[in-house]
Structure 1
């Protein structure tokens, strides 16, 4: 009988931190707690976070995802509606109040902090520059905190070089929380060269989780034959991790949502695999991908840990009296 061919050896450099951040954890928890307290359906405006696995899991529990508040049927106007972790323009809670809807705002506290910083710039008479990506829900929500024309979106260094202030006076900037740290620094440097009196926000806008995940990828990427980032195509922080991996020395970097998306026939010989997950990606999918490689390779997992995260953002008072089961907690923590 012919012997079974030995599996090729594969080192998986597993990044830490990775996956769910405190803001995502809180947002998912809010929906699960609302379903436990108020029953189904609970409406959610936009994806609560950018991850299909999470969205489908919440749908199975009774969440109904909508794009706009007018999609809530008349007979369900007494049902809770949750705003996503990305934040919303001021017009959305105003509309909810006008419709007598009961809403729960799951905006990440770090996004809310950026909103407050933009409002502070405006209050001090500054035109606000927002460094971010057009159309991203967080950018839409931040720009929607101020009147039309009060904010200019800067996406690239070229935008920074071309920008002409719409009015005389001082300028202040804030940034989307999920940007590339290096790209953002270049854009801000270009702005500061042109406008030496440009006012920075009171504290860093790019969130700790984005920075931590990018630093871990930088450590794990050099010499990797392939780097996989678990995340959705519309997840800004996940897409930035792919870019960071390529810049830091990975031969190739890909974004995948599930193990089923791995292009096995294209990846060729791999002896070192980098692996991370965006802030909306559950740990269960990371494990699924490691298992998929273990079926094909003799896998050794090395940890590339650059920070330990202990942040915890509590839910709103209205939901603190609800207890979650072990199954609920596993889902909230990305493990089920």
Structure 2
């Protein structure tokens, strides 16, 4: 029986971003420099496959600093940490390496600058997400108010409506965030925003390529982890852009083949913390069942690279 033809649209860019690449490299270089075990506070990036691979090399993942011994290095995840965490590590005289994505650090610096200028901060983000916790933790309690969606703006209780600024989580939906910003500006006309958008280039680029693909197909798979904010946003963007079937899969074994029966084309992308090997695995699964033609839908080129911290570049 001949395999049915299937056009597979592959988003470009997709998968790893520069911040994720750097964070993984930091853990690998720390293991090379100091040997195992190296402790990592929180999943270095939100992807089980990546975390398991690093665990096999000798990384130990913990949620809090209290779980780390004083005499082993600890790495802070790409999502960033509250100010109290490095302070606590320094007090214990621990060796620590901060793998916070430089684009998240930029938001931290912005928040501190606004606060130093006497402004109260509003953060647009997801409650409990490590990046939101880390950004809000740059300033004393009560200095940062959280809003998740436009409807939250009406109930915000601020100190002074004329002395406000906002920052955002870097992995949000571009369109949804624009709605929240609009609501903030309507209620607080004096509110100050970032000089350059906080949502990072990788999140924006991956969402744009999903919109471009959605126009060509009615089914889309996003390779990524359920706790990955940017991956989940890609699923939502695909559905909003008209894909009647837009789903998150961690790997090929998660594909719901019955739901895809009768399809003639499918779009595939991956969140910023999903490695190439998982994207290839999904493509190969389709090739095993269909006569696949792959078409790349490229909407941007990425050549961003971030240096690892100096402590790891120096020879041990």
Q: Normalising to structure 2: TM-score of the pair?
A: 0.98
In the alignment, which of 74, 83, 98 is matched to residue 81 of structure 1?
Answer: 74
Deviation at 1:193, TM superposition (A): 0.9
From 277, 286, 293, the counterpart of 1:293: 286
Aligned to 2:55: 59
Offset, 1:167: 4.1
1:98-247 to structure 2, matched below 5 A, reads 98-167=91-160, 169-247=162-240
2:218, 2:242 within 8 Å by CA — same for their partners in 1? no
Aligned with residue 251 of structure 2, among 258, 266, 278: 258
> Contact 1:117–1:202 (CA<8 Å) still a contact in 2?
no
What TM-score do you get using the length of structure 1 for normalisation?
A: 0.92
Counterpart CA distance in 1 for 2:115 and 2:162 is: 11
> What is aligned with 2:67?
71
Does residue 50 in structure 1 map to residue 43 in structure 2? no
CA deviation vs aligned residue, 1:116-154 (integer Å, no higher than 9, x gap): 111111111111000000000000000000000000001
CA distance, structure 1, for counterparts of residue 183 and residue 117 of structure 2:
23
Compared with structure 1, are the counterparts of its residues 322 and 294 closer, same or farther at alpha carbon in structure 2 (3 Å cutoff)? farther
Tell me if structure 2 keeps the 8 A contact 1:88–1:138: yes
Aligned to 1:331: none
User: Once the 2 structures are TM-superposed, how far is the Cα of residue 161 of structure 1 from its aligned partner?
Assistant: 2.5
Q: CA deviation at 1:269?
A: 1.5
Give the distance between the partners of 1:271 and 1:249, measured in 2 at CA: 16
Deviates more, 1:134-143 or 1:92-101: 92-101
Q: Is the 8 A contact 1:19 1:276 kept in 2?
A: yes
- Alignment of 1:303 onto 2:299: no
CA distance in 2, matches of 1:161, 1:248: 28
Q: Distance in 2 between the 1:100 and 1:167 partners?
A: 40
Asked if the contact 1:20–1:281 (Cα under 8 Å) also holds between the matched residues in 2, the reply is yes
Are 1:15 and 2:45 matched, yes or no?
Answer: no
Which consecutive unaligned segments of at least 5 residues does structure 1 have?
324-336
1:315 and 1:172 mapped to 2: Cα distance? 31
C-alpha distance in structure 2 between counterparts of 1:322 and 1:47, whole Å:
26
Deviations 1:216-261 (A, max 9, x none): 0000012423100011111000000000111112121000101001
User: Which of 232, 255, 264 lines up with 1:271 in the alignment?
Assistant: 264
Q: Which residue of 2 aligns with 1:91?
A: 84
Aligned residues: 316
Per-residue displacement from partner, 1:286-326 (whole Å, max 9, x unpaired)? 00000000010000100010111010000011111469xxx
- Does the 8 Å CA contact 1:80/1:101 hold for their aligned counterparts? yes
> In the alignment, is the contact (CA less than 8 A) between 1:224 and 1:251 conserved in 2?
no
Kept after mapping to 2: 8 A contact 1:223/1:250: no
CA RMSD of superposed structures (Å): 1.2
Uncovered stretches (5+) of structure 2, i.e. residues with no partner: none
Structure-1 separation of matches of 2:217 and 2:181: 31
Q: Is the 8 A contact 2:23 2:101 kept in 1?
A: yes
TM superposition shift of 1:162 = 2.4
CA distance in 1, matches of 2:158, 2:71: 45
Q: CA deviation at 1:202?
A: 2.5
CA contact (8 A) 2:18 2:304 kept: yes
The DSSP-based 3-state class of the residue aligned with 2:146 is strand
